[in-house]
Chains A and B, each alone.
Chain A
């Protein structure tokens, strides 16, 4: 018996619905991006269901299993405290994705509003805002995040460090502002903006209701791209001891401390968290690039 999945088996209306599905169109047009999205979804699922899918409590110390090599009991081995690395990576995804997403959302939203405002007003306002953006852009992203987190310290609420999110978001703001401004300048030149101004709408109304929705495509692309950056930044700050604190699982933290001391005896301590960071960043970059290509009409031509 053979099973056919050809188009002939699908009713015409369902076929049309499939073909008109934006998800399917994205998958067909951008297979690499779709692969990235799949990885992101798997990570998000693992993060959300961490308590169910992780085989062990990520903070449970087990002296009998210290530095255990990958085995059936511990597929990715254990660390110097006998903590299961797979469980820590799964729970670490929660930290990476929550901090990565929230930081990117905060940074891109603030940067987007700044860029649209700058483009809308133009003139001296644009000049002053863009010089401010230039100044902040002159600092390397990691240095700026380091300074912010060192100055403001930590403010954990419900397990999420708000200051760490702010520290990662701040370097994103000028970068997002510069990109969104360039898109918003084209929108600003549209007749409907002049019409809205002539109609007596408030500046905030025009910016939020007429301009911002029209720069949504570059905003979404930036959002996904900067999630990858934010995950890397969070990992870097945790590695430097300024991010998440032990014993909370975080990928960057798993590479720091004892991992450096035991990399020769227990290479799995740095190998798997490192792979998790690389995979997450790669997935978000693939998805972000594909989303850009897919949303940009010039790339479709």
Chain B
């Protein structure tokens, strides 16, 4: 038995990139003020209401940013050291040489908020619910649990997970913030208990949720980490992004953890002065142009490729990053991550070349060849920023090759409904994940019958093959090659193509200490390490 996954997984490139996570801004010089101190209530804003209390059933930050403080997971990302993985309820673990068996030893004396002990039976019940949900239970995590054959609990402190096949992304699955551990006893009585109730083993106990107003948690004195949490409690307030800027500027809230636009950042910094703490990073969130491949003329790869070719991504990146959260040019994995292509590699993809005149000439030629000159269609978009900005950018770019698009901006529910029913021509979409692991990201681009999130409704068995191949390839070099092949195939077909990646700009009051910035807004939200300075 070895502990191959236990060591630090941080690469040279990631190590170089980490200091860039926090860029120079007024409050940044004082990233942490002195020694941690206990007490205080953290008030922060969340932009949306939670559609459920069940972390297994959703992927929205509106749930994560309220529920994460109440739960623990098997492993977690080391605070301040992404993407290193450390134990959460697991004290230690080992992996078999063939990577088909994982054995976890749990911390002793972990208790749920109702006082009952957390044992391996709870981990087993949780993972069984995630990989084979009972009738009426939703598990959004099914694809990442496909390779798990069995979860065993030989004794109260030991969990053994047996795999059907090697899964290169399995450690990220164990560390996923979505895989909160629920009480086996509660699940036995009601498998849907977590959808309407909050009872975990995290640093904070649930107090109340007033829909449209606030969510309150208080310190759990029985939390298994010595001396944690520092806060007496937290209060998550529901408010719109515009209200957040004013609330943070007016010191009515202390933080917002998702991100602001550059202009909003500047307004808050102007208002708070030295009391503003700004942290910036690239973001595991990218804007995607998705075509409905079951509709004419988007069933023709020449039309899709032409519309991607027309986009000046490099120019757009420079300009749109000044006015919105849209930032870097990237492929299918986050630019700057271990798995991303270099700019030189990207420039070989259709739509990523820097000679826009040549790109547009080629785009016009392809449209003519496909008989789609003077193409008009409807671009479905969301009615919030930076989606609208992306929509305006796309329409302007297409106008330059003689294509007219009607900008249809929809509410979230209508936007989702159109994706589900296929009632759209082209779509401004986005995708976010909690880790850079290619399996988590490339799933968005495989065939529709393989993943519901692949809303381009295409079928491409070559992409599926490359996806499956990389998912079981442990050697990083070989896996990277497969990721490059996947990207090359995708850009050739252009079922759905990235527009730009987002930049994450978090602004908070400098009284908030101990929070870790990362390229995803889904991790480090349990608030266990946060403390407030005077």
Contacts and interface: CB of A to CB of B under 8 A. Distances in A.
A59 B323 contact: no
Contacts of B261: 261
A246 B408 CA distance: 9
A263 to B, nearest CB: 10
A179 interface: no
B399 A59 contact: yes
A80 interface: yes
Interface stretch (B167-175, B293-301, B386-394, B467-475): B386-394
B529 interface: no
B526 interface: no
Given A59-B396, A61-B393, A258 B323 contact: yes
A54 interface: no
B88 interface: no
Interface string B161-199: 000000000000000000000000000000000000000
Interface residues of B, number: 25
Nearest to B270: A264
A241 B409 contact: yes
B319 A60 contact: no
Interface in B310-367: 315-316, 318-319, 322-323
A260 B242 contact: yes
A257 interface: yes
A247 B393 CA distance: 9
Contacts of B242: 260
B416 to A, nearest CB: 16
B315 A63 contact: yes
Nearest to A153: B414
A248 B379 CA distance: 14
B264 A261 contact: yes
Nearest to B405: A247
B319 A261 contact: no
A261 B263 contact: yes
A80 B321 CA distance: 11
B323 A60 contact: no
Contacts of B322: 66
A300 B409 CA distance: 51
A245 B315 contact: no
A154 B392 CA distance: 18
Given A261-B261, A262-B263, A246 B323 contact: no
A245 B407 contact: yes
Interface in A60-103: 60-61, 63, 66-67, 80-82
B408 A245 contact: yes
A246 B385 CA distance: 12
B30 interface: no
A45 interface: no
B10 interface: no
B406 A246 contact: no
Contacts of B389: 258
A27 to B, nearest CB: 43
Contacts, number: 54
Max chain B Cβ within 10 angstroms of own Cβ: one of A80, A241, A248, A264: A80
Given A61-B396, A63-B319, A260-B242, A156 B406 contact: yes
B391 to A, nearest CB: 7
A156 B319 CA distance: 31
B395 interface: yes
B225 interface: no
A74 B256 CA distance: 38
Contact of B318 (A63, A154, A241): A63
Give the most central of B318, B322, B323, B408: most A CB within 10 Å. Answer: B323
Nearest to B263: A261
B267 interface: yes
The CB with the most chain B CB atoms within 10 A, among A60, A63, A66, A257, is that of: A63
Given A59-B399, A156-B406, A258-B323, A246 B264 contact: no
Interface centre among B264, B392, B395, B399 (most CB of A within 10 A): B392
A67 B261 CA distance: 16
B144 interface: no
Contact of B409 (A60, A245, A260, A264): A245
A244 to B, nearest CB: 10
A246 B318 contact: no
Given A156-B406, A245-B408, A257-B388, A66 B323 contact: yes
Nearest to B319: A63
Given A257-B388, A258-B323, A246 B396 contact: no
Contacts of B267: 261, 264
Contacts of B263: 261-262, 265
B391 A246 contact: yes
Nearest to B388: A246
Nearest to A63: B319
A260 B264 CA distance: 10
B149 to A, nearest CB: 48
A230 B396 CA distance: 29
A166 to B, nearest CB: 18
A81 B392 contact: yes
B409 A247 contact: no
B383 interface: yes
Q: Pick the 8 closest A-B CB pairs, nearest first.
A: A63-B319, A61-B396, A80-B323, A261-B263, A245-B407, A247-B392, A241-B383, A245-B409
8 contacts: A60-B396, A61-B396, A63-B318, A67-B323, A246-B409, A257-B388, A258-B323, A262-B263
Given A80-B323, A246-B388, A261-B323, 6 more contacts: A66-B322, A67-B323, A81-B323, A81-B393, A261-B261, A261-B264
Interface of B: 242, 261, 263-264, 267, 315-316, 318-319, 322-323, 383, 385, 388-389, 391-393, 395-396, 399, 406-409
Interface of A: 59-61, 63, 66-67, 80-82, 154, 156, 241, 245-248, 257-258, 260-262, 264-265
